[in-house]
Copies of this chain bind each other. A is one copy, B any other.
Amino acid sequence: MDDSYFMSQAIEEAKKGLAEGGIPIGSILVKNGLIIGRGHNQRVQHDSVIHHAEMNCLETAGRLTAKDYKDCTIYTTLSPCPMCSGAILLYKIPRVVIGENQTYMGDEAHLKDQGVELTVLRNQECVQLMQDFIKEQPALWNEDISV
Protein backbone atom coordinates (compact mmCIF):
# COMPACT_ATOMS: atom_id res chain seq x y z
CA MET A 1 0.00 0.00 0.00
CA ASP A 2 1.86 3.06 -1.21
CA ASP A 3 1.01 6.65 -2.18
CA SER A 4 0.04 5.50 -5.65
CA TYR A 5 -2.50 2.99 -4.26
CA PHE A 6 -4.07 5.51 -1.86
CA MET A 7 -4.25 8.13 -4.63
CA SER A 8 -6.08 5.59 -6.79
CA GLN A 9 -8.64 5.36 -3.96
CA ALA A 10 -8.97 9.17 -3.85
CA ILE A 11 -9.52 9.08 -7.64
CA GLU A 12 -12.27 6.49 -7.12
CA GLU A 13 -13.95 9.00 -4.80
CA ALA A 14 -13.57 11.77 -7.42
CA LYS A 15 -15.21 9.50 -10.00
CA LYS A 16 -18.08 8.69 -7.63
CA GLY A 17 -18.65 12.43 -7.31
CA LEU A 18 -18.63 12.86 -11.08
CA ALA A 19 -21.11 9.99 -11.52
CA GLU A 20 -23.43 11.78 -9.07
CA GLY A 21 -23.27 14.95 -11.19
CA GLY A 22 -20.78 16.59 -8.82
CA ILE A 23 -17.33 18.12 -8.94
CA PRO A 24 -14.73 15.34 -9.40
CA ILE A 25 -12.44 15.84 -6.42
CA GLY A 26 -11.83 13.00 -3.96
CA SER A 27 -9.95 12.47 -0.73
CA ILE A 28 -8.83 9.64 1.55
CA LEU A 29 -7.60 9.74 5.16
CA VAL A 30 -5.03 7.07 6.03
CA LYS A 31 -3.82 6.17 9.52
CA ASN A 32 -0.93 3.73 9.89
CA GLY A 33 -1.63 2.24 6.47
CA LEU A 34 -5.40 1.90 6.91
CA ILE A 35 -8.06 4.00 5.20
CA ILE A 36 -10.15 5.54 8.00
CA GLY A 37 -12.03 8.19 6.03
CA ARG A 38 -13.08 8.85 2.45
CA GLY A 39 -15.07 11.52 0.73
CA HIS A 40 -15.72 13.70 -2.27
CA ASN A 41 -16.93 17.19 -3.02
CA GLN A 42 -20.65 17.62 -2.18
CA ARG A 43 -21.42 21.08 -3.59
CA VAL A 44 -23.94 19.78 -6.12
CA GLN A 45 -25.17 16.68 -4.32
CA HIS A 46 -25.95 18.41 -1.00
CA ASP A 47 -25.75 22.08 -1.98
CA SER A 48 -22.83 22.24 0.42
CA VAL A 49 -20.31 25.07 0.57
CA ILE A 50 -18.16 23.36 3.21
CA HIS A 51 -18.05 19.74 2.03
CA HIS A 52 -15.05 20.00 -0.23
CA ALA A 53 -13.50 16.56 -0.74
CA GLU A 54 -11.01 16.83 2.13
CA MET A 55 -13.67 18.20 4.51
CA ASN A 56 -16.11 15.45 3.56
CA CYS A 57 -13.34 12.89 4.11
CA LEU A 58 -12.50 14.30 7.57
CA GLU A 59 -16.20 14.30 8.47
CA THR A 60 -16.66 10.63 7.49
CA ALA A 61 -13.57 9.72 9.55
CA GLY A 62 -15.47 11.05 12.56
CA ARG A 63 -14.31 12.50 15.86
CA LEU A 64 -10.65 11.66 16.44
CA THR A 65 -8.11 12.77 19.00
CA ALA A 66 -5.10 14.97 18.27
CA LYS A 67 -3.00 11.84 18.83
CA ASP A 68 -4.90 9.99 16.07
CA TYR A 69 -4.45 12.78 13.52
CA LYS A 70 -0.70 12.80 14.19
CA ASP A 71 -0.47 9.34 12.58
CA CYS A 72 -2.48 10.34 9.50
CA THR A 73 -1.77 11.24 5.90
CA ILE A 74 -4.51 12.88 3.84
CA TYR A 75 -4.69 12.20 0.11
CA THR A 76 -6.48 14.59 -2.21
CA THR A 77 -6.81 14.58 -5.99
CA LEU A 78 -6.42 18.39 -6.15
CA SER A 79 -4.27 20.91 -4.27
CA PRO A 80 -6.15 21.83 -1.05
CA CYS A 81 -7.92 25.22 -1.08
CA PRO A 82 -7.46 27.63 1.86
CA MET A 83 -10.40 26.07 3.77
CA CYS A 84 -9.16 22.49 3.40
CA SER A 85 -5.58 23.58 4.13
CA GLY A 86 -6.89 25.25 7.29
CA ALA A 87 -8.66 22.05 8.36
CA ILE A 88 -5.39 20.13 7.86
CA LEU A 89 -3.64 22.72 10.07
CA LEU A 90 -6.38 22.67 12.73
CA TYR A 91 -6.09 18.90 13.07
CA LYS A 92 -2.30 18.97 12.68
CA ILE A 93 -2.24 16.27 10.00
CA PRO A 94 1.50 16.02 9.31
CA ARG A 95 1.45 14.91 5.65
CA VAL A 96 -0.60 15.70 2.55
CA VAL A 97 -0.33 13.83 -0.76
CA ILE A 98 -1.72 15.87 -3.66
CA GLY A 99 -2.77 14.41 -7.01
CA GLU A 100 -2.10 17.60 -8.92
CA ASN A 101 -1.73 21.36 -8.49
CA GLN A 102 -1.63 22.30 -12.18
CA THR A 103 -5.38 23.01 -12.47
CA TYR A 104 -5.56 24.87 -9.17
CA MET A 105 -2.95 25.86 -6.60
CA GLY A 106 -4.38 25.87 -3.08
CA ASP A 107 -2.75 27.24 0.07
CA GLU A 108 0.31 24.97 -0.18
CA ALA A 109 2.56 27.87 0.87
CA HIS A 110 0.76 28.21 4.21
CA LEU A 111 0.87 24.44 4.80
CA LYS A 112 4.62 24.38 4.11
CA ASP A 113 5.18 27.41 6.35
CA GLN A 114 3.50 25.50 9.17
CA GLY A 115 5.69 22.43 8.69
CA VAL A 116 3.27 20.13 6.86
CA GLU A 117 5.01 17.67 4.51
CA LEU A 118 3.61 17.91 0.97
CA THR A 119 4.03 15.39 -1.85
CA VAL A 120 2.69 16.35 -5.28
CA LEU A 121 2.25 13.33 -7.56
CA ARG A 122 1.48 15.23 -10.81
CA ASN A 123 -1.05 12.50 -11.60
CA GLN A 124 -2.38 12.90 -15.14
CA GLU A 125 -5.70 11.18 -14.41
CA CYS A 126 -6.39 13.80 -11.73
CA VAL A 127 -5.54 16.59 -14.20
CA GLN A 128 -7.75 15.09 -16.90
CA LEU A 129 -10.75 14.69 -14.58
CA MET A 130 -10.60 18.40 -13.69
CA GLN A 131 -9.85 19.65 -17.21
CA ASP A 132 -12.80 17.75 -18.68
CA PHE A 133 -15.07 18.91 -15.87
CA ILE A 134 -14.09 22.58 -16.10
CA LYS A 135 -14.69 22.52 -19.88
CA GLU A 136 -18.22 21.20 -19.23
CA GLN A 137 -19.11 23.23 -16.13
CA PRO A 138 -17.00 26.36 -15.81
CA ALA A 139 -19.54 28.24 -13.65
CA LEU A 140 -19.77 25.41 -11.13
CA TRP A 141 -16.01 25.24 -10.82
CA ASN A 142 -15.75 29.02 -10.35
CA GLU A 143 -18.38 28.83 -7.63
CA ASP A 144 -16.44 26.10 -5.84
CA ILE A 145 -13.30 28.24 -5.60
CA SER A 146 -15.27 31.51 -5.33
CA VAL A 147 -13.97 33.42 -8.32
Which A residues fall within an 8 A CB radius of B? 43, 47-51, 55, 58-59, 61-66, 69, 81-87, 89-92, 107, 110, 142-143, 145-147
Is B62 in contact with A49, judged by CB distance below 8 angstroms? yes
CB-based contact A63/B43 at 8 Å: yes
This chain: copies in complex:
2
Sort A-B residue pairs by CB-CB distance and give the 9 closest, nearest first.
A86-B86, A82-B89, A82-B86, A83-B87, A83-B86, A83-B90, A66-B146, A82-B90, A91-B146
Contact yes or no, A59 B63, CB < 8 A: no
Chain B residues within 8 Å of A85, by CB: 86
For A84, list chain B residues within 8 Å (CB). Answer: 86
Q: Which residues of B contact A110 (CB under 8 A)?
A: 110
Please name all residues of chain B whose beta carbon is closer than 8 Å to the beta carbon of A43 when the two chains form the complex: 63
In the bound complex, how far is the Cα of B50 from the Cα of A64, in angstroms? 12
> How far does the alpha carbon of A51 sit from the alpha carbon of B58 in the complex, in Å?
11
Q: Is the CB of B49 within 8 A of A142?
A: no
A sample of 19 more A-B contacts (CB under 8 A), given A63-B143, A81-B90, is A47-B62, A49-B64, A50-B50, A50-B55, A50-B58, A65-B143, A66-B146, A66-B147, A81-B86, A82-B86, A83-B89, A85-B86, A86-B86, A86-B89, A86-B107, A89-B107, A90-B145, A91-B146, A110-B110
